[in-house]
Amino acid sequence: MLGSFRNFAKSKFAGIFVFLMIIPFVFWGMGSIFSSGNTNNLAKINDTNISTQEFIDFVNNSNIPQQTIRENIDDNIIEELLSTLISTTLINLEINDLDIIISENTLLNQIKKNKNFLDENKKFQRTKYEKFLLENNQSAAIFEKRLKDRELQKNLFDYFGAGIIAPEFLVKKLFIEENSKLDLEFINLKKFYKKKEDIVNQELIDFLKENKDKLKVEYIDFKYAILNPKNLIGTDEFNQSFFDKIDDIEIDISNEINFETIVSKLNIESVTSTNFKLSSTSNEIEKKIFELRNNKFDIFENENDYILYKINKNEEREPDINDLQTRDEILEFVYQKNKFDYNAKLIENIQNNNFKDSDFEKLGQNSIENITLNSIRDNKKFDINAVKLLYSLPINSFTLINDEKENIYLAKVKNLKSEKIDKNNEKFKDYLNKENFNNKNSILKSYDLLLNKKYDVVLNQKTIDRVKNFFK
C-alpha cells in the first residue's frame, strides 16, 4: 500500500542531512515497499535494516521535544527524521566500504584544538572540556563518537572533492557572469497570440477530429467506504485494535473477498459513483481512486482515514464537444496549440537567420521594452534558466525566453558591460573559492548518482504509519 511517505519523498528529498553537514544532493533512492518481513523494521538499505527502536533512539538523541514532533506529524516530521537517519546510515555504510578511518590520536588532537577548551594561553584545559560536557548533558564517549562520525563523513566527501583547483579561465568566466550587466530589448508576445474568444467552433471540431484518439476521456464506476477508528472500533484513537482491523481487511482483499461482503461485515456505509470523469471539482478521495484505477480493488491512506475502494467499470470514450467542460478543455488545447505554432515559427525564422532587426522593430512597433540584467543570477524579470541562456548568446542575437508566470518574450541581446579580473585582484581568491566549490559540487552530484545505483532503499510504510500514530 502506497502511503504519504512515498509522496513526500518524491517532493522533498532534495537534500540530505548529515549531522551538522548539509549536502545538497540525494544520496539514496526510493525502492518498493516491503511486501513482507520484520514489521519492527522501518527501512532497509541493501542488507542493513533500520529498526523501530533504532529510530526511536535517534529521535531521542536529537533532543527534539515530543510536543514539537506531535504538532508537526501532519507536516511529515517523522519522514524528515527518518530521511536523516537513512542518509546517515547510508553514508556510514559507504565509509566502511571505503575503509575510511580516524585514528585515536587524530581525534584527540581535534579535541585539544577546539577553542572552547582552550585557556587564555591557547592551551587545552581538561576542566573546560568536562564543563562543556556537563552543560550539554553529554558523556565524553557520546561527544567523541559524534566528533568521530563527523570527521569520518568530512573525510568521505574530501576523498572525492579535495584538491580541486579551478583553472584561471573558469574563475574569470565566473567573475564576468556575476558582475557583467546585460542590456536587452524584449517584446511580450501575449498580444500576438490568437485570443480564445476569436477561436471559432470549426477549429474545435477540426482539432477534435485530428486528435480524437489522444483526447479520449476515461470514465469509471466505483464504490468506496471511509474507514476510521470511529466506525471500525467505536473510538477516536488510532490504536493497535484499529490497525489489526486494517490488517484483516488487507487480508480479505488478498483473499479476493468482494467489496460488498467486507463492507457488510464491518457494518459501514459505502458511496457509489457512476460515469465518473476526473475534473477540477473532484474531491481528494475521488482523485486518488481515479489515480489508482488500474488496481481494481484496494485500500489506501487518506489524511486521517483509510479508503477501501472497488473499481466496477473502466472505459474510454471520445470527447463530446457539446459537453461544456469538454468544450472548455478543447478550447484550451487549441489556444495553447496556436501559441506553440506561433512560437515555433518565430524560432525557426531566428535559427534560419530569417529574422532581422527590421523584423524585430516592425513586430514590436510601440511595445518594445528595455531592461538591464545586473548579473547571471538576476531573475527579477525572467526565469533564471532564461537569464543563463541570454548570457550565453552573442550581441544582437534573438531568442525566446519566459518568466516564472509562463509569459513568453522575444528578446534581443543589445550589449554586455563586462568587468575583468586577474590574479592580482583582491577579489580573485573569493571567486577561486567559489569556482572550486562549484566544481566540487559537480563531482559530488556524480557521486550521488553512483550511490543511488549502489544502494537500494526500501521502506515499510505500515510500520512508518504505526510510528507516526505512536507519537500522536
Tell me the three cell numbers of residue 468. 507516526
| DSSP-assigned beta bridge partners for residue 298 | 309
pLDDT the model gives residue 18: 27
Task: Encode the chain (472 residues) as per-residue pLDDT tens digits.
Answer: 223 333 333 332 323 322 222 232 333 333 333 333 455 788 888 888 998 888 888 888 777 888 888 888 888 888 888 888 888 888 888 888 878 787 788 888 888 888 888 888 888 888 888 888 888 877 888 888 888 888 777 777 676 655 567 777 888 888 877 888 999 999 999 999 999 999 999 999 999 888 888 888 899 999 999 999 999 999 988 888 898 999 999 999 999 999 999 999 999 999 999 999 888 788 999 999 999 999 999 999 888 899 999 999 999 988 888 888 888 989 999 999 999 999 999 999 999 999 999 999 999 988 999 999 998 889 999 999 999 999 989 999 999 999 988 899 999 999 998 777 777 777 888 878 877 777 777 776 777 777 777 888 888 888 888 888 877 7
**What pLDDT was estimated at residue 162?**
59
Q: What are the sequence ranges of the domains in the chain?
A: 1-166+429-472, 181-199+324-417, 217-317
> Cα(169)–Cα(166) distance, rounded to whole angstroms?
8
3-state secondary structure 76-113: CHHHHHHHHHHHHHHHHHHHHHCCCCCCHHHHHHHHHH
Residues 158, 21: contact at Cβ < 8 Å? no
In CATH, the number for domain 1-166+429-472 is 1.10.4030
Whole-angstrom CA distances from 24 to 92, 147, 440, 453 are 18, 22, 12, 18
pLDDT at 164: 65
